[in-house]
């Protein structure tokens, strides 16, 4: 009985080539999945910052109407914001905002001087 060594070598080559292609395509799929997760996380985090900024602006609006406004919890789209105001009644006060959605949280702290018609922001920063 005679064996065809060229056929066996070709078969081994095709199997190795196929395994290499599967390995490469698996790596590319994993890389694409990680890029998608990173993009979604950045989008969600940006959405939360918009919610936190909206809540801070709402707090300043409320303080121009009522200097004793101490804060509240409100919904902004899918996010929940908790607003607290230190230094009430507000002439010069600190507004703290925490926006949360799922496991994501963004926090802002704003120092402002508020009277009936004017808001002067002296500090606006994201806090850890």
C-alpha span between 128 and 125 (Å, rounded): 10
**What is residue 14's predicted lDDT score, i.e. its pLDDT?**
87
Instruction: Report in angstroms the alpha-carbon separations of 127 from 60, 97, 102, 106, 121.
Output: 18, 10, 19, 8, 16
- The tokens describing 38, both together, are 């990173």
The count of domains in the chain is 1
CATH of the domain at 76: 3.30.1300
Sign, CA dihedral 113-114-115-117, equals positive
**What is residue 91's predicted lDDT score, i.e. its pLDDT?**
83
Mean pLDDT in order along the chain per 10 residues (128 residues): 71 87 85 72 72 94 90 93 92 94 92 85 94
DSSP 68: T
71 phi-psi bin (left φ>0, alpha ψ -120 to 50, beta other): left
Q: Which residues pair with 124 in a beta bridge?
A: 110
**What is residue 8's predicted lDDT score, i.e. its pLDDT?**
78
Instruction: Report in angstroms the alpha-carbon separations of 23 from 11, 26, 27, 33, 105.
Output: 18, 5, 6, 15, 37
Domain of residue 46, residue span: 5-127
């Amino acid at each position: 009985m005679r064996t065809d060594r060229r056929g066996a070598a070709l078969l081994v080559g095709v199997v190795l080539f196929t395994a290499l292609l599967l390995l490469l395509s698996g790596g590319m799929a994993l890389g694409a999945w990680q890029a998608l997760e990173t993009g979604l996380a950045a989008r969600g985090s940006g959405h939360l910052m918009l919610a936190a900024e909206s809540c801070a602006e709402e707090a300043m609006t409320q303080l121009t109407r009522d200097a004793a406004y101490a804060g509240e919890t409100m919904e902004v789209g899918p996010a929940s914001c908790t607003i607290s105001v230190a230094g009430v009644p507000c002439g010069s006060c600190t507004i703290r905002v925490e926006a949360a959605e799922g496991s994501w949280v963004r926090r802002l702290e704003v120092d402002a001087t508020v009277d009936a018609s004017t808001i002067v922001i002296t500090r606006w920063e994201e806090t850890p």
